[in-house]
């Protein structure tokens, strides 16, 4: 798996260099392409949560799968409802949780015994701070569309953002301490790739490429390996077969929601709301599930 992750990062790094050369991508969000990629590659990496849910129920000695499905859907729907009434607070929490989630899952393949979760937060925060630094106006417009106005905050000053990016680099260095040169190179390539994407591309397009082609694919590789540790190709094939049904169902729900939102917002704004609110409603139960499994496995051991 270490070689697969290394070559994946190498390919992604070269893809980012290639994309940065296309002038027409620099001011074009390609919002429909972004929506398609997120509804296919993006959300598919969480499409095995129902299998993980059964694993959690087994750890908790529950036999009924309905408990998991009801709880999972309840958390997701609750996020949407809370967003409608407390969008500013929830989006802030989502950005913090997402930063930790990106940092942790993007480096899960590394045998890192550090318990400093803050390191993962700083590593993943690059995904949030880079677009604010390089495309501040466009990024703030996205936040404003989500009813989250931070235009007057000192936290988005260039000086603060540069410091945060430097801390993110330092977090990558800490994670790679005492690791093989391939691990160090991989983390550095990922760091530079995210900077390249956000320097040259529109924020939504940059996030989509990162989320789909680095974060989601890496997590999908991990799941494929868990399904078949002896044969990665067979494991990947099994992952795709198991992931397709829930991915299609989730995509349909997203599109139905877009149909209704388009009655109240311009299409581009409706799509951006679907992308970020939809991802929030999926991310919170996904992270909670991962946390509960990890916690209960440690207690068993």
Domain ranges of the chain: 2-6+30-258+271-296
- Would you give per-residue pLDDT tens digits along the chain (301 residues)? 778 888 899 999 999 999 988 877 777 778 889 999 998 888 887 778 888 888 888 888 887 788 888 888 898 889 888 887 887 888 888 888 899 999 988 987 776 655 678 899 999 999 999 999 999 988 888 888 877 777 666 667 888 899 999 999 999 999 888 888 888 899 999 999 999 999 999 999 999 999 999 999 998 888 888 888 888 889 889 888 888 888 888 889 888 888 888 887 788 888 888 888 888 888 888 888 888 887 777 776 6
Q: What is the pLDDT of residue 91?
A: 84
| Angstrom distance (rounded) from CA 116 to CA 10 | 27
Max Cα–Cα distance, the chain, nearest Å: 56
Cα 26 to its chain centre, rounded Å, is: 22
Q: What is the pLDDT of residue 208?
A: 93
Instruction: Tell if the pTM clears 0.85, that is, is over it.
Output: yes
The answer to whether 219 and 104 are in contact (CB under 8 A) is no
Which residues neighbour 173 within 8 Å (Cβ) at sequence distance 6 or greater? none
Which residues neighbour 51 within 8 Å (Cβ) at sequence distance 6 or greater? 242
> Considering only CA atoms, which of 155, 232, 176, 207 is closest in space to residue 16?
207
Q: What is the pLDDT of residue 114?
A: 54
């Amino acid at each position: 798996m270490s070689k697969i992750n290394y070559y994946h990062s190498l390919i992604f790094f070269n893809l980012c260099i290639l994309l940065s050369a296309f002038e027409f991508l620099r001011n074009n969000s390609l919002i429909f392409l972004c929506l398609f990629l997120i509804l296919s590659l993006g959300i598919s990496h969480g499409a095995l949560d129902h299998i993980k849910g059964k694993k959690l129920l087994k750890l908790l000695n529950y036999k009924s799968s309905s408990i998991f499905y009801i709880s999972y859907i309840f958390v997701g729907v609750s996020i949407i409802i809370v967003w409608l009434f407390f969008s500013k607070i929830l989006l802030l929490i989502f950005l913090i949780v997402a930063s930790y989630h990106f940092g942790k899952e993007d480096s899960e393949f590394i045998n890192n015994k550090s318990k400093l979760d803050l390191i993962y937060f700083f590593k993943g925060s690059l995904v949030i701070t880079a677009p604010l630094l390089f495309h501040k106006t466009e990024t703030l417009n996205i936040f404003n569309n989500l009813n989250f106005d931070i235009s007057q905050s000192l936290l988005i000053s260039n000086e603060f953002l540069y410091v945060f990016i430097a801390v993110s680099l330092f977090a990558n260095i800490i994670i790679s301490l005492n690791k093989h040169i391939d691990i160090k190179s991989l983390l550095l390539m990922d760091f530079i790739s995210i900077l390249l994407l956000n320097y040259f591309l529109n924020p939504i397009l940059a996030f989509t490429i990162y989320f789909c082609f680095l974060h989601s694919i890496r997590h999908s590789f991990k799941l494929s390996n868990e399904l078949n540790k002896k044969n990665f190709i067979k494991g990947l094939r099994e992952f795709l077969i198991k992931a397709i049904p829930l991915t299609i169902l989730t995509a349909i729900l997203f599109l139905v929601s877009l149909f209704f939102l388009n009655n109240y917002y311009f299409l581009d704004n409706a799509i951006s709301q679907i992308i970020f609110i939809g991802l929030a409603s999926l991310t919170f139960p996904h992270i909670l599930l991962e946390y509960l499994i990890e916690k209960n496995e440690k207690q068993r051991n």
